[in-house]
Chain A
Amino acid sequence: MKSTSVATLAYVIRRLFQAIPLILGVIAINFTLIHLAPGDPATLLAGEFASPEAVERLREEFGLNDPFYKQFLTYLGKVATGDLGYSYRFRAPVLDIVLDRIPNTLLLLFVSFVLSMIVAVVLAVLSARRPNSLFDNVASSLAMVGYALPMFWLGMMLILVFSSQLGWLPTGGMYSLRGERTGLAMVLDMARHLVLPATAFAAYFMAMAYRLTRSKLIETLREDYIRTAHMKGLSEREVLFRHALRNSLVPVIAVMGLDLGVMVGGAVVVETVFTWPGVGRLMYDSILARDYPLLLGIFVVVSFGVIIINLLADLVAALVDPRIIYD
């Protein structure tokens, strides 16, 4: 047991070191792409009426006149020391801005993830108990729809129905302007703002997790050890939850972990539609504003986050399945 946990720790450290070249690659590709993109950040920063001298001075100040390779190396050097650069638009260090927004995105992701997993697993269990029943067919069809609906469209429809027409929920943002900023009132206010974006976000993952869990569950229910469980006189419910569901969730965890990259893309869309002050919205804004240091900084932080969450998913899978051993 002891040696297993030591081996796992060594594995985690190795995985983190393996992340370094990955992040280097992310930086190299994005740095190049941004460099190739049209538009001059200095003009944008200086404003419409700035003199050419002022623009030139800004260029010099931000090192924009240096050759490409020099700019790249300077940037890498800074990232290595934890400095992600300076945002032209916010006039603040990039890292501070991103770290400020991350909790909001994590909240949205977490709530959507938990919501979609709970609904997906419950529906999958009900479907797998009677495959091809009416319930299964309806749920599977709905999942297909949820899978296919564009996230932005669903978001806008939710706003249209529940905010504009019915007026039940706010159209966007994270807090009411005149709302309380402390205690339970704040939490409830935030929850009200969270309902629609979390639903729009969860639809896709719910559909994916449902389809995955359902098919895996049906497969698991045909395993020989399910027969053994019945041999012991266990009820259908006990067999389903104790023997089938847990075994089916291992691959689901793995796939959901891998799909987090897609989730980041979803965050950009949903946060933009619902003006949710998260990293996705920040990414969208920084593209529009040509705030390249900020954009690049977001890429670095997000890719690091995805790597960490993938690692977590692997560790959770090992926790559930004793056959998975890392060494």
Chain B
Amino acid sequence: MTGTLLESETEATVKARDLLEVDRLAVHIDTYRGTVKAVDGVSFRIGEKESVGIVGESGSGKSMTALSLLRFTPPGARFAEGRILFEGHDLVRLSQEQMRSVRGNRISMVFQDPMTFLNPLMKVGDQIAEGLVKQGVGRRQAREKVIEALRQVRMASPEDVADQYPHQLSGGMRQRALIAMAIIRSPALLVADEPTTALDVTVQAQIINLLREIKEEHGLSLLLITHDLGIVAHVCDRIYVMYAGRIMEEADVFSLFRDGKHPYTRGLIASVAYEDQPGGAVSFIEGSVPSPINPPAGCRFQTRCPHVMPVCREKQPPRTRISDTQAVYCWLYEEEGRDG
């Protein structure tokens, strides 16, 4: 899979080959009140061994984007448009059977709440082994691999944990078990959907560091979905900022924090930066997210944008390239917009 050519060159000089390419993906959910455009024309890519973050507030469609990679969309949701190219296949078009051979095997996922994502009636080791056993690995060998995986996620006394039930483990230990479950079949891509949101702050840092180390040790690509800018800054190479079902800006982590272009990106960073200032007012973005059923024409951020212009209300902003590693969807950076 991995080209030796790539390894001989530094990461900075070579654009990593794409493992995943999502192209104008749209996921719509039909409801009685109308069609919810949860994900509406989202494009992004993840290179081999790259860690990419998708940041956004609740309702931005970031989780739905992550779930659609494994075709875990809720009932009523449909892929209205776009492609998800992964290892030469369009995942949108795979059969259920083919999709099952991707899940856990090539793409794995770590979920938000370790308390509820483990089966309470099954021993932790058996749950981790399940995917392997399905692949035809013998019981004894599977057991060895489970212990090995538990060791890789830095679980203390992995032999004991394998024979325990989820309720006997702490939240952090359960999340480690879920990570072990996700990596045991050496997938190419690990999707982590808000992996620390439900954990204690002290445990959060451990899990984040663990994800980073696992990614390096296993040479896998990581897609991290979070609302926490601190976490993406710590883990990710590149970041996509999502808002109301659309990508607003994409950039490498340094450019984004030093020189974020989109007014929404700036608002997000400002709201974190001023948080800790003694006596200082908390900065926030005024207004609220527009209705996903009847979103306004043009830019989705127009209702809250301090720099809103007439053109923003008419036409959707195109992708404007700022540099090799940065692009923004905003009229402020487009010639046409500046004139209007």
**CB within 8 Å of B: which residues of A?**
223-225, 227-235, 238, 242-243, 246-247, 250, 320-323
A95 to chain B, nearest CB (A): 42
Contact of A231 with B119 in the complex, beta carbons under 8 Å? no
Contact of A232 with B134 in the complex, beta carbons under 8 Å? yes
Name B110's closest neighbour in chain A (CB-CB). A231
Q: How far is A117 from B15 in the complex, measured between Cα atoms in Å?
A: 60
Could you list 13 further interchain pairs (A-B, Cβ under 8 angstroms) beyond the known A225-B118, A231-B111?
A225-B116, A225-B119, A227-B111, A228-B117, A228-B127, A230-B103, A232-B103, A232-B130, A233-B134, A234-B131, A250-B121, A322-B167, A323-B120
Q: How far is A323 from B181 in the complex, measured between Cα atoms in Å?
A: 22
Which B residues are in CB contact (< 8 Å) with A246? 121
- Minimum-distance CB pairs A-B, first 6: A232-B131, A224-B116, A233-B103, A233-B104, A232-B104, A225-B119
Q: How far is A224 from B72 in the complex, measured between Cα atoms in Å?
A: 12
Q: How far is A246 from B119 in the complex, measured between Cα atoms in Å?
A: 10
Q: Say which residue of B119, B121, B134 sits within 8 Å of A228 (CB atoms).
A: B119
Contact of B105 with A233 in the complex, beta carbons under 8 Å? yes
B167 to chain A, nearest CB (A): 5
Contact of B118 with A233 in the complex, beta carbons under 8 Å? no
Scan B97-114; emit 1 where CB is below 8 A from any A CB, else 0.
000111111001101010
Name B132's closest neighbour in chain A (CB-CB). A232
The answer to whether A223 and B121 touch (CB under 8 A), given A231-B103, A233-B100, A234-B134, is: no
Report 19 cross-chain contacts, Cβ distance below 8 Å, ordered by A residue: A223-B116, A224-B111, A224-B117, A225-B118, A225-B120, A228-B127, A229-B119, A231-B108, A231-B182, A232-B134, A233-B103, A233-B104, A233-B131, A234-B100, A243-B119, A243-B122, A322-B120, A322-B121, A323-B165
The answer to whether A231 and B120 touch (CB under 8 A), given A322-B165, A323-B167, is: no
Q: How far is A325 from B121 in the complex, measured between Cα atoms in Å?
A: 13
Contact of B117 with A225 in the complex, beta carbons under 8 Å? yes
Name A325's closest neighbour in chain B (CB-CB). B167
Contact of A228 with B101 in the complex, beta carbons under 8 Å? no
Q: How far is A224 from B127 in the complex, measured between Cα atoms in Å?
A: 14
Which A residues are in CB contact (< 8 Å) with B105? 233
Q: Say which residue of A230, A232, A234, A320 sits within 8 Å of B121 (CB atoms).
A: A320
Q: How far is A227 from B165 in the complex, measured between Cα atoms in Å?
A: 18
Contact of A247 with B111 in the complex, beta carbons under 8 Å? no
The answer to whether A228 and B178 touch (CB under 8 A), given A233-B131, A247-B119, A323-B120, is: yes
Scan B221-241; emit 1 where CB is below 8 A from any A CB, else 0.
000000000000000000000
Name A321's closest neighbour in chain B (CB-CB). B121
Q: How far is A230 from B120 in the complex, measured between Cα atoms in Å?
A: 16
Asked whether any CB of chain A lies closer than 8 Å to the CB of B70, the reply is yes
Scan B166-196; emit 1 where CB is below 8 A from any A CB, else 0.
0100000000001001100000000000000
Q: How far is A255 from B127 in the complex, measured between Cα atoms in Å?
A: 28
B: interface residue count bin:
20 to 34
Which A residues are in CB contact (< 8 Å) with B104? 231-233
Which A residues are in CB contact (< 8 Å) with B130? 229, 232, 234, 242
Contact of B181 with A224 in the complex, beta carbons under 8 Å? no
Which B residues are in CB contact (< 8 Å) with A232? 103-104, 130-131, 134, 181
- DSSP class of A's interface residues: helix, strand, loop or mixed? helix
**CB within 8 Å of A: which residues of B?**
70, 72, 100-105, 108-109, 111, 113, 116-122, 127, 130-131, 134, 165, 167, 178, 181-182
Contact of B119 with A227 in the complex, beta carbons under 8 Å? no
The answer to whether A233 and B119 touch (CB under 8 A), given A224-B111, A228-B181, A322-B165, is: no
Q: How far is A322 from B126 in the complex, measured between Cα atoms in Å?
A: 14
Pick from A228, A238, A243 the residue with the most CB of B within 10 Å: A228
Q: How far is A322 from B113 in the complex, measured between Cα atoms in Å?
A: 21
A82 to chain B, nearest CB (A): 41
Which A residues are in CB contact (< 8 Å) with B178? 228
B130 to chain A, nearest CB (A): 5
Which B residues are in CB contact (< 8 Å) with A234? 100, 130-131, 134
Q: How far is A234 from B116 in the complex, measured between Cα atoms in Å?
A: 18
B64 to chain A, nearest CB (A): 14
Which B residues are in CB contact (< 8 Å) with A229? 119, 130
Which A residues are in CB contact (< 8 Å) with B118? 225, 228
Which B residues are in CB contact (< 8 Å) with A231? 70, 72, 103-104, 108-109, 111, 182
Which A residues are in CB contact (< 8 Å) with B167? 322-323
Name A243's closest neighbour in chain B (CB-CB). B119
The answer to whether A321 and B100 touch (CB under 8 A), given A232-B130, A238-B134, is: no
Contact of A230 with B134 in the complex, beta carbons under 8 Å? no
Q: How far is A242 from B130 in the complex, measured between Cα atoms in Å?
A: 10
B190 to chain A, nearest CB (A): 11
Which A residues are in CB contact (< 8 Å) with B103? 230-233
Contact of B100 with A235 in the complex, beta carbons under 8 Å? yes
Pick from A223, A227, A235, A246 the residue with the most CB of B within 10 Å: A227
Contact of B113 with A224 in the complex, beta carbons under 8 Å? yes
Q: How far is A246 from B127 in the complex, measured between Cα atoms in Å?
A: 14
Q: How far is A230 from B130 in the complex, measured between Cα atoms in Å?
A: 11
Q: How far is A130 from B100 in the complex, measured between Cα atoms in Å?
A: 20
Q: How far is A292 from B119 in the complex, measured between Cα atoms in Å?
A: 53
Q: How far is A250 from B165 in the complex, measured between Cα atoms in Å?
A: 16
Which A residues are in CB contact (< 8 Å) with B182? 231
Q: How far is A232 from B108 in the complex, measured between Cα atoms in Å?
A: 8
Q: How far is A156 from B152 in the complex, measured between Cα atoms in Å?
A: 67
B278 to chain A, nearest CB (A): 40
Contact of A233 with B101 in the complex, beta carbons under 8 Å? yes
A131 to chain B, nearest CB (A): 10
Which B residues are in CB contact (< 8 Å) with A238? 134
Which B residues are in CB contact (< 8 Å) with A242? 130
A272 to chain B, nearest CB (A): 41
Q: How far is A230 from B134 in the complex, measured between Cα atoms in Å?
A: 12
